Structure 1
Amino acid sequence: MEFRQLLVLSAVMLTMTGGPSYGQGGKEPYVRVAEIEIDPVQLEAYQAAVKEQIEAALRIEPGVLALYSVADKENPAHITVFEIYTDVEAYKTHLETAHFKKYKTATQDIVKSLKLRETVPILLGVKRR
């Protein structure tokens, strides 16, 4: 999935969930993109682990604004995770949570490669209904 397509998907998903407003309080959101290649034989185990981690992060962490995990349609072992946090400190806090550490432990033998992309938000818009 192209990066632009992922950004459009994130905007659509935020719209569906009634997403957050940006630019409040003078903080700039911290946005990361993770490109992950997993062992195709362990696809179901990876999907279960990432779903559990994302659900916990959204439920427990106030600094997590959005987490999306999508698989490439042509190659489901190529996963892209799009992450939006209130700021860099919220991201650092996320890395120290029990649910994130559980995810990292559960997937350490499943993930074949991980590339983290630092991004600079240009515009993160949400359409309110």
Structure 2
Amino acid sequence: MKLPKVVLILFLAIFCISSYGQEKNENQDVEVDEMIIRMAKIKVYANHRDEYIAILNEEAEASIKLEPGVICIYPMYQKENPNEIRLLEIYANKKAYQSHLETPHFKSYKEKTRSMIETLELIDMKALDKETMPLIFNKIKD
């Protein structure tokens, strides 16, 4: 009777160890040099601000939860001008970015918000501190 419990415990221990290794490897697959880093500068019409933010937050959450290649879509706004939205977007690589553009949630976001946006500028960026990049989001607790 003790043998099945020991076997079960051993199986669970092996599973946890192998799962930890797989998760660690998935995170290591992202190379900083291959990442697509972008700042989106968006100005929304004042009368659409609240609706736009609700749709944007929904899209950002879906992107992070559903797309392994989306590292960050972080929406924010200027304190002095709340209609000026900024997004920090980080994708694992060009393939992840292209895949993101084809997702139903991104296409829905684009369609729903098209008339709400006054201006849009996409600015491609490059990381200056490659060593710190993998640590950035590890300090934030749920």
TM interval, short-chain normalised: 0.7 to 0.9
The answer for unaligned runs of 5 or more in structure 2 is 1-23
Aligned residues with identical type, % of pairs? 34
* Match for residue 42 of structure 1 among 42, 48, 62: 48
Partner of 2:112: 106
Partner of 1:62: 68
After TM superposition, which residue ranges in structure 1, 4 or more long, deviate above 2 angstroms? 23-28
Task: Measure the CA separation in 1 of the matches of 2:53 and 2:30.
Answer: 35
Higher helix fraction (1 or 2): 2
Task: Measure the CA separation in 2 of the matches of 1:98 and 1:89.
Answer: 17
Displacement of 1:24 after TM fit?
A: 3.3
Aligned pair count reads: 109
The letter for the 1-side match of 2:45 is D
1:119 to 1:108, Cα distance in 2 relative to 1, 3 A: same
Structure scoring higher RCO (CA < 8 A, sep ≥ 6) equals 1
The two structures, once aligned, show a CA RMSD in angstroms of 2.1
The answer for unaligned runs of 5 or more in structure 1 is 1-19
